[in-house]
Structure 1
Amino acid sequence: MSEHPLAFRETESPWRPTEVVEELNAHLHLQLELVGLDDLVGGTSGAAYLQGPDGRQFVLTRTSADADLMRLTAEIIALAKQHGFPVPSHEAVLPLRDGHTAVLQERLPGSRPTTVTADRVAAMVTMNEQVREPAGRSPRRPTATRTRHQHPS
């Protein structure tokens, strides 16, 4: 196995994205390339940015959650996406050799907010209320607006 100098060391569960990318590529017969790391310090995991040979962009995270739970999460996210919610598709969920689970999801344009404003909180509350509609009714498409910045290709 090759040397893996890039690592998320300041997270609750340190990991080496290059190693996980190798494992994903080997088990799922992909040709993903590591193109960046999230700049978030701390947190539970960290995220690595990947690119496929066709140019598609992905986000890779590693979690201690069971792979079956993450597959269920992927199904719920797919349902939310079907109803117009701006959520990333989970492209793959893979149990890793180290006992963790890798989650590969599509990378959406935009960036996390750096400030909290009353408008942003109101938009989050509105979206939450739309999700909580009674069972049997399709959720409305969220009307909340978000500030989005296109990531460079």
Structure 2
Amino acid sequence: MQYIFNVHEGIYEYIKLGRNYPFTPPPTKRCHNAKCNKLVSFRKHGFYERYYYSKEYKGKIVIRRYICPLCGCTISYIPNFCLPGFINAVNHIFEYIYNLFYRKGSINSVINQLNLKKQRTVFKENSILLQKKFIKNLSTIQNGLRQIIHKVKLPDETL
């Protein structure tokens, strides 16, 4: 299970401090394991690294892990500039998805144009995977947008 927390200091400070970053304290909440499902105080359980790719930074970042003391299930707290399941920055992902859905020409031509323009390397397979993940999570994205922008008009139907 991954939870997102706000990094008020910005990405550079988060990366500079690494494991010494003042992470949010371990939460007291119900364990997400269906067999446990008890209200517990999660304990710190080390770190892991994941790749993050954006205009500002390309490389590994540190992610804090917590563990349920009863069943051993873990949760991760990832910074708000990351998306669970994606290496690329949010703005990169939306830019590619937007251009793929509203493309004129082939998928390869759009990807090559964006790669040249932004000096990035995204392959056709990755962009198709992004499209599929986007479509799969469209209702979640719509709900998130409705919570952030209260009077937003979104279509009721999903793709």
- Scaled by the length of structure 2, the TM-score of the pair is 0.33
Taking structure 1 as the reference length, the TM-score comes to 0.34
